[in-house]
């Protein structure tokens, strides 16, 4: 039986948590409830213990659980971590990494999808601090279920009512489904820049940081795909459990991609592979007095183009780094490289794309359908790209 952790904060809407537990139980999930101390003052933990059939976690230092570090043990067992109702205080703690009670410590330990359903007074909900905290958590991959408008505990009408339990449960189930939506698929992701050497100390490269490709690899892994990440030099730690290969040159990128191509169901070329390399490479450092200063560049192999000729049933996703005529050029690449999806990136826009944690892309299908993401974290963008890939998988059966 799959297990869900339900975090409960102190709010008048706490009674709706009972219905959330019941609805998940009907879908055959076990529920482990974690309460804040304030929530446990508002309603007796006995109620939730009776409903869920488990002891309730409140205090990380209670004697009862001292033989094991219970928040870490529990974090490994669950498919979903849901907080409903979530107060402004708890959202603030999660957003700033404060871990001073069981619930906030637990948030730091989980690897599964996280959903937060806020409930609070309208002014608190729309306070810029709360909105900033929500934005930050969204950028880290947390899903929010927006509160509804209605009669609030403060005897006012407004936004801030906890969403309906059925809606919360429905979103939770969707997210659990998503967490293994790529199970059984092998995804080959390329990331980062390449380096084309002129001599033993000098090379030609580009501004790619690798973040987009690494986020894609990590998100694909969260959806339980087998991920192979082939990356140029970056400063990023590769996701754990990913098969990881580091390369330097476009030629090495080509060799590694070809090595793993056969077993891949999906290939996502997020790497900024150099289009040029030096016609001659010196193994010794070139002395300035002995060089005319002129160099000849020749074209590298276009990896995506090469693999597109033996595509078969594989899904190929390319990126288009453009500084002008973004959509027109991306569509051209989509057709020429026989792709199933292209992610068009205007790399001239400040604050997104190269070296940034954010991106703003247009994702284009061969039938011309286009999704404009707006500015979002690269993690959020990676989710949208993989949702589109899953749609293609769904259509191709």
Annotated active-site positions, please? 154
Rounded-to-integer distance, Cα 286 and Cα 295, Å: 12
Minimum CB separation from ligand CTP for residue 196, in Å?
A: 10
Instruction: Kindly state whether residue 266 participates in binding ligand CTP, applying the rule CB under 6 A.
Output: no
Minimum CB separation from ligand CTP for residue 262, in Å?
A: 17
Closest to 345 measured CA to CA, from 327, 332, 367: 327
**Residue entry with tokens 């959202």:** 91
| Site stretch for ligand CTP (CB under 6 A), options 55-63, 158-166, 224-232, 296-304 | 296-304
- Identify the residue among 8, 90, 115, 250 touching ligand CTP (CB under 6 A): 250
| Site stretch for ligand CTP (CB under 6 A), options 63-71, 93-101, 318-326, 355-363 | 318-326
Minimum CB separation from ligand CTP for residue 200, in Å?
A: 23
Integer CA distances (angstroms), 85 to 51, 81, 112, 116, 165, in order: 17, 12, 19, 8, 10
Instruction: Kindly state whether residue 246 participates in binding ligand CTP, applying the rule CB under 6 A.
Output: no
Closest to 333 measured CA to CA, from 317, 347, 314, 309: 317
Residue pair 46/40 in contact by the 8 Å Cβ criterion? no
Integer CA distances (angstroms), 168 to 19, 54, 59, 343, 356, in order: 10, 21, 26, 32, 33
Q: What six digits make up the tokens of 373?
A: 């993401």
Instruction: Kindly state whether residue 320 participates in binding ligand CTP, applying the rule CB under 6 A.
Output: yes
Minimum CB separation from ligand CTP for residue 394, in Å?
A: 23
| Site stretch for ligand CTP (CB under 6 A), options 62-70, 112-120, 225-233, 266-274 | 266-274
Minimum CB separation from ligand CTP for residue 278, in Å?
A: 15
Q: Which is nearer to ligand CTP, 181 or 382 (CB)?
A: 382
Instruction: Kindly state whether residue 385 participates in binding ligand CTP, applying the rule CB under 6 A.
Output: no
| Site stretch for ligand CTP (CB under 6 A), options 4-12, 171-179, 298-306, 386-394 | 298-306
By CB under 6 A, the count of residues binding ligand CTP is 14
Interface with ligand CTP in residues 20-79 (CB under 6 A): none
- Please return the burial class of 329, using the count of CB atoms within 10 Å of its CB with bins 0-12, 13-18 and 19+: middle
- Identify the residue among 48, 81, 144, 319 touching ligand CTP (CB under 6 A): 319
Q: Give 68's contacts (C-beta < 8 A, 6+ positions apart).
A: none
Q: Give 9's contacts (C-beta < 8 A, 6+ positions apart).
A: 36, 38, 39, 83, 85, 86, 87, 89, 90, 103
Instruction: Kindly state whether residue 321 participates in binding ligand CTP, applying the rule CB under 6 A.
Output: yes
User: DSSP of 338-352, one letter per residue?
Assistant: T-SEEEEEETTSTTS
Instruction: Kindly state whether residue 333 participates in binding ligand CTP, applying the rule CB under 6 A.
Output: yes
Instruction: Kindly state whether residue 232 participates in binding ligand CTP, applying the rule CB under 6 A.
Output: no
Residue pair 312/338 in contact by the 8 Å Cβ criterion? no
Minimum CB separation from ligand CTP for residue 360, in Å?
A: 16
| Site stretch for ligand CTP (CB under 6 A), options 80-88, 161-169, 280-288, 313-321 | 313-321
Instruction: Kindly state whether residue 277 participates in binding ligand CTP, applying the rule CB under 6 A.
Output: no
Give the DSSP letter of residue 397: -
Chain contacts with ligand CTP (rule: CB under 6 A): 250, 269, 271, 273, 275, 300, 302-304, 318-321, 333
């Amino acid at each position: 039986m799959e297990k869900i952790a339900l975090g409960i904060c102190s709010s008048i809407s706490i009674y709706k948590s009972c219905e959330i537990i019941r609805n998940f139980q009907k879908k055959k999930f076990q529920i482990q409830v974690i309460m804040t101390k304030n929530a446990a003052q508002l309603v007796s933990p006995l109620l939730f213990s009776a409903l869920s059939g488990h002891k309730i976690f409140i205090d990380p230092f209670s004697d009862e659980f001292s033989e094991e570090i219970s928040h870490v043990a529990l974090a490994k067992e669950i498919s979903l971590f849901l907080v409903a109702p979530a107060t402004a205080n708890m959202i603030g703690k999660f957003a700033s990494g404060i871990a001073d009670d069981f619930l906030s410590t637990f948030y730091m330990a989980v690897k599964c999808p996280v959903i937060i359903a806020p409930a609070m007074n309208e002014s608190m909900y729309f306070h810029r601090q709360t909105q900033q905290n929500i934005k930050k958590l969204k950028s880290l991959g947390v899903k929010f279920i927006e509160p509804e408008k209605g009669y609030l505990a403060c005897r006012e009408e407004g936004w801030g009512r906890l969403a309906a339990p059925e809606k919360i449960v429905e979103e939770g189930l969707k997210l659990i489904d998503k967490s293994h939506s790529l199970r059984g698929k092998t995804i080959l992701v390329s990331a980062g820049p390449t380096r084309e050497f002129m001599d033993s100390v000098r090379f030609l490269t580009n501004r790619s940081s690798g973040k987009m490709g690494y986020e894609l690899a990590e998100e694909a892994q969260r959806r339980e795909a087998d991920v192979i990440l082939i990356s140029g030099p970056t400063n990023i730690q590769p996701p754990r459990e990913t098969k990881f290969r580091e390369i330097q040159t476009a030629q090495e990128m080509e060799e590694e991609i070809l090595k793993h191509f056969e077993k891949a169901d999906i290939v996502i070329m997020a790497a900024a592979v150099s289009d040029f390399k030096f016609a001659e490479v010196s193994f010794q450092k070139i002395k300035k007095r002995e060089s005319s200063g002129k160099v000849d560049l020749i074209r590298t192999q276009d990896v995506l183009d090469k693999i597109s000729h033996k595509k078969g049933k594989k899904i190929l996703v390319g990126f288009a780094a453009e500084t002008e005529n973004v959509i027109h050029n991306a569509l051209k690449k989509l057709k020429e490289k026989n792709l199933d999806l292209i992610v068009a990136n205007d790399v001239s826009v400040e604050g997104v794309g190269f070296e940034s944690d954010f991106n703003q892309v247009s994702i284009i299908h061969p039938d011309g359908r286009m999704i404009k993401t707006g500015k979002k974290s690269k993690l959020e963008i990676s989710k949208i790209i993989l949702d589109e890939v899953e749609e293609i998988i769904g259509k191709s059966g």
